Amino acid sequence: MIPITKPFLPPKNEYEKYLDRIWESHWVTNMGPMASELEELLSNYLKVENLLFVTNGTIALQIAIKALDLKGEIITTPFSFVATTSSIVWEGCSPVFVEIDVDSLNIDTTKIEAAITDKTTAILATHVYGNPCDVLAIEKIAKKHSLKVIYDGAHAFGVELYGRSIFEFGDISICSLHATKLYHSGEGGLIVTKNPIVLKKLTSMRNFGFAGTEAFNELGINGKNSEFHAAMGLANFPHIPKIHNQRKKLTEAYHKGLENLSYRIPTWHDKASLNYAYFPILLESEEVILKVKEGLAKDDIYVRRYFYPSLAKVLPYLPDTEMTVTEDIAKRVLCLPLYYDLAVVEVERICQLIQKLV
């Protein structure tokens, strides 16, 4: 069987070394020494100053919205994982969907201003598949209308834009370290901000709003992560280069194997590095997508319609919104298997089967 993804796991003995430290210290959770060590390690690696290791990417989004004291409407994309939108609703705000760009599949910045009202307080944009949004256009719009900007960079670990970390942009950026991501801590997330005042607020909110042991700064939540997850993050960290190189090799094999097929991939930002987090393809119709998906499944090869369906049409707690471009893209996009243990020969087999099916 070839699954859509498979978590990278370090050699067991490397993880066990960190487990030994937990047994020695008896420090299991509440941002212990290894969680703090991982924060510093990732801060240096990603070249960002203010980074927090939290429970997961969803909590990261929720804390970000709360820390910026956002109310009213938040402009966002319907082409993303559900947590992007549900976090807005969870925090008592109203998501306002804007169409996606047909080439990059990110939020269409030319449509944002038309969606701004006197209730709009922020833009929450996703770097879809790790592909950076047009951050300069978003920054210009945000400044003009006095809006905050949050970036959902769940897929964007390691991506650089204009020679800087993708997490340097916006008021707050978040990342997911879920087991399915190219670099992970089992469960986990990151919050990054350039603003030291916002960082202080985020840090307090992550820990129930505590100010010391007997006082509180504000409303908080349990957004801390455990030493077991930090241990996985630390054990996986030295393997990032080989994970990246293998994913690059597999991506190149896909391009070669599908070169005679009528398909396209999202246009990557021309000033950004690639992290090879996903391999999405766009085919000509939903009928073809289903034919490929079902045909591959017969050979025990599993793909994912990611992101499908459009969030503008499927969430029971929101009214339907007509998003023609997003709905068309969502019906025709398919993510193919991509993970460290996948072999080039398996990619070649997948490509041959897709060619026959199409």
Q: What is the pLDDT of residues 79-88, one digit of tens each?
A: 999 999 999 9
Would residue 6 count as lying in a domain?
no
Contact (Cβ atoms closer than 8 angstroms) between residue 235 and residue 15: yes
Q: What are phi and psi of 313, to 5 degrees?
A: -120, -10
Q: Which domain holds residue 298?
A: 239-357
Domain closes at, from 209, 237, 265: 237
Map tokens 């930002």 to a residue: 269
Asked if 230 and 243 sit in the same domain, the reply is no
Asked if 220 and 337 sit in the same domain, the reply is no
Q: Which residue type is seen at 179?
A: A
Which residue from 357, 223, 220, 221 is spatially nearest to 298, judged by alpha carbons?
357
Asked if 169 and 140 sit in the same domain, the reply is yes
Contact (Cβ atoms closer than 8 angstroms) between residue 348 and residue 325: no
Asked if 42 and 69 sit in the same domain, the reply is yes
CA 144 to the chain's CA centroid: 27
Predicted pLDDT at 233: 98
Which residue from 178, 148, 235 is spatially nearest to 55, judged by alpha carbons?
178
Question: What would the two tokens of residue 287 be?
Answer: 């009928």
The 3-state DSSP class for residue 53 equals strand
Asked if 79 and 155 sit in the same domain, the reply is yes
Asked if 124 and 36 sit in the same domain, the reply is yes
Cis status of the peptide bond prior to 309, with omega within 30 of 0 = yes
Count Cβ atoms below 10 Å from residue 212 Cβ, excluding itself: 7
Would residue 4 count as lying in a domain?
no
Predicted pLDDT at 213: 82
Asked if 232 and 282 sit in the same domain, the reply is no
Asked if 164 and 255 sit in the same domain, the reply is no
The 3-state DSSP class for residue 122 equals strand
**Using CA atoms, how far apart are residues 119 and 165, in angstroms rounded to an integer?**
31
Predicted pLDDT at 214: 85
Cβ-based burial of 295 (10 A; exposed 0-12, middle 13-18, buried ≥19): middle
Asked if 78 and 151 sit in the same domain, the reply is yes
CA 4 to the chain's CA centroid: 17
- The set of residues, in sequence order, having a beta carbon less than 8 Å from that of 191 and lying 6+ positions away, is 51, 52, 54, 60, 63, 64, 172, 173, 174, 202
Asked if 175 and 266 sit in the same domain, the reply is no
Would residue 3 count as lying in a domain?
no
Which parts of the chain sit beneath pLDDT 50?
A: none
Dihedral sign computed on CA atoms, order 154, 160, 164, 169 = negative
pLDDT one-digit tens code per residue, 255-294: 999 998 999 999 999 999 999 999 999 999 999 999 999 9
Q: Can you point out the beta strands (E) in the chain?
A: 51-54, 73-76, 94-97, 120-126, 148-152, 160-161, 164-165, 172-176, 189-192, 280-282, 333-335
Residue 253: CATH number of its domain: 3.90.1150.10
Contact (Cβ atoms closer than 8 angstroms) between residue 225 and residue 31: yes
Asked if 102 and 245 sit in the same domain, the reply is no
Asked if 277 and 185 sit in the same domain, the reply is no
Cis status of the peptide bond prior to 307, with omega within 30 of 0 = yes
Question: What is the count of structural domains for the chain?
Answer: 2
Predicted pLDDT at 78: 98
